Amino acid sequence: MLDQVQRTESDDVRILLHCRRMTTLFTSQLATVGYARVAVQRGVDRYPDGLTYAVPVELGDLAVGEPVIVPLGAGDTPTAGYVIERFDETDLDPGRIKLIDCRANEPPMPRQLIDLAKWISSYYCAPIGMTLAAMMPAAVKRRVGLVGRTMIDLAGGAAADVKLAPKQRHVLDVLGAIPADRRPVEIRQLRDLSDLATTSPIKQLISKELLVVRSRTAVEAAWIEHALDATVPERLTEPQKQIIHDIQATLKGGFSTHLLFGVTGSGKTEVYIRLIEKVVEAGKVAILLVPEIALTPQTGGRLIARFPKHRVAVLHSGLTAAQRHQQWMLAASGAADIVLGARSAVFAPVPEGRLGLIVVDEEHDGSYKQDQIPRYHGRDVALRRAQLASCPVVLGSATPSLESWHNATIKGSYRLHRIENRVPGMRLPIVQIVDFVAERKRRHDRRVHLIGPRMESAIGETLDRGGQVLLLLNRRGYANYIACPDFRCGWMMNCDDCDATMVFHLNRRLPAGGFVRCHHCEAEQRLPQRCPLCDRHVTTFGLGTQRVEEELARKFPQLVEGKTMLRIDSDSMRGSKDFHHALGKFGAGEVQLLVGTQMIAKGLDFPNVQFVGVINADTAINLPDFRASERTFQLVNQVAGRCGRGKDLGLVIVQTFQPQASAIRLAAAHDYEGFAKLELADRQRCKLPPYTRLARIVVRDVDYTRCVNTARTIARRLGELADESMRLRGPAPCPISRIAGKHRQQIELLAESAQRLQKVLVAGRNEGLLHAGAGLVIDVDPIALL
Ligand code: ADP
Ligand code: ZN
Ligand code: ZN
């Protein structure tokens, strides 16, 4: 996102060149027609947002959403921004209002997105200019891939009685033979079609006014194709039919919210597809949001394959800049019937009045939350957008977020649709919980075993049968502790700049056999050989996917690393291409076993997966985050859902140190509702979301004292602004008290309603107390609390 906010020098030069007026004129000196509020693409934060400028007469038709250049600050620096409001009167002194310089050479922002930006800016406490900047991809603003082409057409005059050279006559004949709807053609294409060596005969015809030039600038728009053949189910299940029928009935009825709660493999995607069919048949556009599309290529592939006659624009971070520009333009021009993408696709520029449906698949997924300004939640923005567009929104999940579940079952503001069973021919897997401690006792050698005896034999049997295996461990690297073996010494290797331990990563090409890396600031160091305090040889311990991989190679000599066994995590996969490639090989049966982080827990649909193993279900459960339990439930449930999608019954083994933990016990029993009930009762008792609304404020500073003092000042003032019903916690050090050299102090503000929370935040913003930036994070409805 940064590159969207920071302008380069050349941008400034471009802006300067583009503006005819270099000196600022004030309203009193020139004829103007009313005023405009302009959101500049800088971190200027005022509430309500935007700065007031006067509109010069020649820009009288300037509309909301148009990009403009305005003078900013004492130096009148030409600055780009969007018009977010037009009005006729103002209380401000007209003599002090500056004039808009000119229109900027960028695509306009659809009006609906301006309205959405206003809401995001106010709800998530983000400067509106930065919000708008984040909504339009930088590639679109910079018009990456835009090419100017010289197109030639017949002038329409009579050429018969004009004397022409044979080559010229030939060109006219060739062009005349091309059907009118395929013209104009590019000059070089015409040259080639006419078998000419140069374009001079064409140019001569232009000067004789027998041909005309139509310049065109266009992005080379190409539809993204995925060759995935999609089988259409012969018959919908009864619940599918019923739900499609019910939601379809609301397609014309304005805004409504539906929560589709269906177990993994119950055919939710099929429901989305059928609803989208209805929407596009009616000439409307549907947006389908999926979490991290690069990680869920199958959903995208299936969707595109099921709409061969319709146009699907794809928006996600895996595209090149030019592709992103193209895809955005396809949506903006109205050529796309469906927009598919990750979080930011919620900002797809669907033409006014055409948005008919938004679907948010896996609505519980944490990747819908953006962790930079504006810190919005894609699902919640989707709700707001659907409301503005007056269309339904469908949220789907096998493990709904407790927020959505609460809305659907307790508040009743969402309509709940359930699918309790898997589609015919697919059964939910059997899930066994294995006590890690007990398993360890059964081993008699002293080596580390991340794969216990029961999991080991289940993997062996599955491989022997020709079945495929998925193994999940949500931790990268080899070992997450590097320490002195003498516990009386107690030395442990921490990152110099973070309050975190360093992680050991294997790399056989390095002399030490590997290196250490901090997973918070990415700093790397050599593996120390000896303890710096007592000079003993260091040891490494703890878990990591690389260690599992090593253990698998030892236990299953029939598996070949990199061939029949692949490790999938952000270290081994450089980009989405690597990942697609790996999945392709897994789908083809070439790879028998995948071991990886949660990248493999999401949405994969491979019928031959007969065994899923969770190496350690506890990696998240003890984190100091009130959603730790909810996340553990989701992860175990989702990864188990990858199993048993074929005719064979699947088996899942979950290894844990806490076999009694409700998140693990109920996930094994496929009992989402039981879990939700328990967890909601807890949240209610502790007055936590979804029963309250939370805003988290984090102060970051390299100077510890300054960090604490700033946090105290903010907390004190917020305490004064808040009413008695609200709770203020902190300031206190964040669970990770330092990252990349910056100390971190947090303040949490809890209110009974979003409105009450907003009131305090708005007041804090207006006073200049809460100014989101590098030193201050304001996170409304946060989902990461470390
Ligand atoms: P979910 O999204 O709920 O996990 P999917 O929509 O991916 O489930 O469906 C799982 C599998 O079942 C897919 O391969 C899909 O093609 C298939 N499927 C969906 N609906 C039906 C149906 N009515 N009959 C048979 N198979 C179906
Ligand atoms: Zn670090
Ligand atoms: Zn030591």
- Cβ–ligand 1 distance for 608 under 6 Å, the answer no
Q: Which carries the bigger pLDDT value, residue 685 or residue 600?
A: 685
Distance CA 394, CA 392 (A): 7
pLDDT band at 20 (very low <50, low <70, confident <90, very high): very low
The per-residue pLDDT for range 518-542, each reduced to its tens digit, is 988 888 988 888 999 999 998 888 8
pLDDT at 9 exceeding the cut of 50: no
Distance 503 CA to ligand 2 centre (A): 10
List CB-based neighbours of ion ligand 3 within 5 Å: 484, 489, 491, 531, 533-534
- Cβ–ligand 1 distance for 118 under 6 Å, the answer no
pLDDT band at 785 (very low <50, low <70, confident <90, very high): confident
pLDDT at 216: 58
Of ligand 1's listed atoms, the one at least distance from the Cα of 262 is 3
The residue whose C-alpha atom lies closest to atom 20 belonging to ligand 1 is 267
Distance 494 CA to ligand 3 centre (A): 14
Let me know how many helices (H) and strands (E) the chain has, helices first: 23, 30
For residue 490, the ligand closest to its alpha carbon is 3
Contact 126, 373 (CB under 8 A): yes
Lowest-pLDDT range of 63-67, 101-105, 148-152, 481-485: 148-152
- Mean predicted confidence (pLDDT) in 548-561: 89
Q: Which carries the bigger pLDDT value, residue 156 or residue 552?
A: 552
Contact 777, 701 (CB under 8 A): no
pLDDT at 481: 86
Strands 727-739, 742-751: pairing kind: antiparallel
Residue type, position 533, single letter: L
Q: Which carries the bigger pLDDT value, residue 409 or residue 213?
A: 409
Helix (H) / strand (E) element for 565: namely strand 565-568
Q: Over the chain, what is the mean pLDDT?
A: 85
Distance 479 CA to ligand 3 centre (A): 18
Nearest residue to 610 (alpha-carbon basis) of 474, 472, 473, 461: 461
Q: What percent of the chain has pLDDT over 90?
A: 40
- Cβ–ligand 1 distance for 644 under 6 Å, the answer no
pLDDT at 438: 81
Of ligand 1's listed atoms, the one at least distance from the Cα of 603 is 4
Bridge partners of residue 516, in order along the sequence:
504, 525
pLDDT at 361 exceeding the cut of 80: yes
The residue whose C-alpha atom lies closest to atom 4 belonging to ligand 1 is 265
The residue whose C-alpha atom lies closest to atom 17 belonging to ligand 1 is 267
Distance 450 CA to ligand 3 centre (A): 26
Q: Give the helix ranges, DSSP H, for 483-640.
A: 545-555, 576-587, 628-640
pLDDT at 328 exceeding the cut of 80: yes
pLDDT at 478 exceeding the cut of 70: yes
Residue 169's alpha-carbon distances to 165, 191, 204, 210, 217, in angstroms, are 6, 13, 11, 11, 28
pLDDT at 779: 94
Distance 684 CA to ligand 2 centre (A): 36
- Cβ–ligand 1 distance for 637 under 6 Å, the answer no
Residue 575's alpha-carbon distances to 15, 264, 319, 343, 714, in angstroms, are 35, 26, 11, 18, 41
- Mean predicted confidence (pLDDT) in 434-440: 82
Of ligand 1's listed atoms, the one at least distance from the Cα of 237 is 23
pLDDT at 227 exceeding the cut of 50: no
List CB-based neighbours of ion ligand 2 within 5 Å: 495, 497-498, 518, 520-521, 523
- Cβ–ligand 1 distance for 298 under 6 Å, the answer no
The per-residue pLDDT for range 44-61, each reduced to its tens digit, is 655 557 889 999 988 888
- Cβ–ligand 1 distance for 305 under 6 Å, the answer no
pLDDT at 294: 61
pLDDT band at 210 (very low <50, low <70, confident <90, very high): confident
- Cβ–ligand 1 distance for 605 under 6 Å, the answer yes
- Mean predicted confidence (pLDDT) in 596-610: 83
The per-residue pLDDT for range 717-764, each reduced to its tens digit, is 999 999 888 999 989 999 899 999 999 999 999 999 999 999 999 989
Q: Which carries the bigger pLDDT value, residue 213 or residue 199?
A: 199
Distance CA 631, CA 39 (A): 38
The per-residue pLDDT for range 540-553, each reduced to its tens digit, is 888 888 888 888 99
pLDDT at 706 exceeding the cut of 50: yes
- Mean predicted confidence (pLDDT) in 108-116: 91
- Mean predicted confidence (pLDDT) in 482-491: 88
Distance 398 CA to ligand 1 centre (A): 13
- Mean predicted confidence (pLDDT) in 666-675: 94
The residue whose C-alpha atom lies closest to atom 19 belonging to ligand 1 is 267
pLDDT at 441 exceeding the cut of 90: no
For residue 290, the ligand closest to its alpha carbon is 1
- Cβ–ligand 1 distance for 233 under 6 Å, the answer yes
pLDDT at 234 exceeding the cut of 60: yes
For residue 266, the ligand closest to its alpha carbon is 1
Distance 591 CA to ligand 2 centre (A): 35
Most confident of 128-132, 259-263, 297-301: 259-263
The whole-model pTM stands at 0.84
Q: Which carries the bigger pLDDT value, residue 31 or residue 233?
A: 233
pLDDT at 221: 45
Distance CA 64, CA 58 (A): 16
For residue 522, the ligand closest to its alpha carbon is 2
Distance 614 CA to ligand 1 centre (A): 24
For residue 740, the ligand closest to its alpha carbon is 2
pLDDT band at 431 (very low <50, low <70, confident <90, very high): very high
Nearest residue to 445 (alpha-carbon basis) of 551, 595, 560, 544: 551
- Cβ–ligand 1 distance for 296 under 6 Å, the answer no
- Cβ–ligand 1 distance for 125 under 6 Å, the answer no
For residue 524, the ligand closest to its alpha carbon is 2
pLDDT at 296: 61
- Mean predicted confidence (pLDDT) in 437-449: 72
Nearest residue to 321 (alpha-carbon basis) of 147, 148, 137: 137
pLDDT at 159: 67
pLDDT at 223 exceeding the cut of 80: no
Most confident of 221-225, 374-378, 654-658: 374-378
pLDDT at 23: 45
- Cβ–ligand 1 distance for 269 under 6 Å, the answer yes
- Tell whether the torsion through CA atoms of 312, 317, 318 and 320 is positive or negative: positive
Of ligand 1's listed atoms, the one at least distance from the Cα of 234 is 24
- Which residue's entry shows tokens 């709770």? 727
- Cβ–ligand 1 distance for 265 under 6 Å, the answer yes
Distance 547 CA to ligand 2 centre (A): 22
pLDDT at 559 exceeding the cut of 70: yes
pLDDT band at 245 (very low <50, low <70, confident <90, very high): very high
Nearest residue to 417 (alpha-carbon basis) of 267, 628, 294, 589: 267
- Which residue's entry shows tokens 């649709």? 417
Lowest-pLDDT range of 130-144, 371-385, 405-419, 547-561: 130-144
Distance CA 82, CA 73 (A): 17
Percentage helix, strand, coil for the chain under 3-state DSSP, each rounded to 5: 35, 25, 40
pLDDT at 610 exceeding the cut of 60: yes
Q: Which of 605, 606, 634, 638 to mutate to test the pocket of ligand 1 (most atoms within 8 A of CB)?
A: 605
Nearest residue to 365 (alpha-carbon basis) of 650, 601, 541, 65: 601
pLDDT at 709 exceeding the cut of 90: yes
What lies within 8 Å, CB to CB, of 693 at 6+ separation is 750, 751, 752, 753, 754, 756, 757, 780, 781
Of ligand 1's listed atoms, the one at least distance from the Cα of 264 is 4
- Mean predicted confidence (pLDDT) in 254-258: 96
pLDDT at 287 exceeding the cut of 90: yes
Distance CA 472, CA 454 (A): 16
The residue whose C-alpha atom lies closest to atom 26 belonging to ligand 1 is 233
Q: Which of 259, 269, 273, 426 to mutate to test the pocket of ligand 1 (most atoms within 8 A of CB)?
A: 269
pLDDT at 691: 95
Q: Which of 420, 423, 637, 643 to mutate to test the pocket of ligand 1 (most atoms within 8 A of CB)?
A: 423
pLDDT at 436: 83
pLDDT at 198 exceeding the cut of 60: yes
- Which residue's entry shows tokens 């679907």? 359
pLDDT band at 149 (very low <50, low <70, confident <90, very high): low
Structure tokens at 275: 């609803």
The residue whose C-alpha atom lies closest to atom 10 belonging to ligand 1 is 265
Lowest-pLDDT range of 77-86, 260-269, 619-628, 654-663: 619-628
Nearest residue to 624 (alpha-carbon basis) of 746, 455, 442, 715: 746
- Cβ–ligand 1 distance for 262 under 6 Å, the answer yes
